[in-house]
Each structure stands twice: as C-alpha cells, then as structure tokens.
Amino acid sequence: MVQRVTKPIDVTKSKEKLILKTVYNHIKISGVRKFKVGDIVRISKNKHVFAKGYTPNWTTELFKITAVKITNPIIWLLEDMRGQPIQGAFYAEELQKTTNPDVYLVEKVLRRKGQKYTLNGLV
C-alpha cells in the first residue's frame, strides 16, 4: 500500500504501477480534441489593451497541425504552409479552424468600372 511515508527506496518494479496510479489518480486528462492532425488553422494575434477594435484578431497566414500532445490541457504543434515548424505549442483557445483556406486578400485594385454605388474592380 502507498502511504505518505513511502520513500523512493520502497518503490520496486512490482509496485511501480500501483504507486503511479495512486499518486496521479486525481488528475483527469481533458477528453475532447477540437482539432486533428492535418487541420488548417489560424493563430490568434496578441493585442494589448489599447489596440484598435477593427484590426483583425487572427493571423492571415495559415498553419497546419502536425502533432497533438496529450497534456492537461491538450496542446498542438504547428507548421506553416511551406513545411517549416513553428516554435512552441498552442492551446485550443489560441487556434481557429479555417473552413475555406483558399480565400486571398486583395493586394491592389488595378481598374474600376461602374456607377457610384456598384463598383466592379479588376484585381
């Protein structure tokens, strides 16, 4: 039996699993995984208190989940779309799954055509 007075010398190979189960029995691993390996996600931007509200909260760059580490809480490892690993690990609150990664930002409008309220642009 494992008690408070169990010393490291008292632990043997036969008692190892029993002691681990007793000591770490109260720790529960969170169950639901929001993301899977291969999902395309965005990372939340770090904004301070006085940042403008109209600036985006998420990066425009897309990342791919490469690994899931089962810790408490669960963390994800990422790489960019070129295959370069991103340093660090991310929690679920810092990631946003992207449903349509083929949306691109307009860099420059080349030509405009149309009336005052209905403008069509050549991008």
User: What tens digit of pLDDT does each residue of 72-113 get?
Assistant: 888 999 999 999 999 999 999 999 999 876 767 677 777 777
Give the pTM. 0.63
The domain spanning residue 69 has which CATH number? Answer: 2.30.30
Q: What's the first-to-final CA gap in the chain, in angstroms? A: 73
Domain membership flag for residue 4: no
pLDDT band at 67 (very low <50, low <70, confident <90, very high): very high
- Quote the CA–CA distance of 38 and 67 in Å, as a whole number: 9
Identify the CA nearest to 64 among candidates 48, 77, 50, 45.
77
Domain span including residue 62: 28-122
Q: What are phi and psi of 16, to 5 degrees?
A: -60, -50
CB neighbour list of residue 28: distance below 8 Å, 6 or more residues apart:
72
How many structural domains comprise the chain?
A: 1
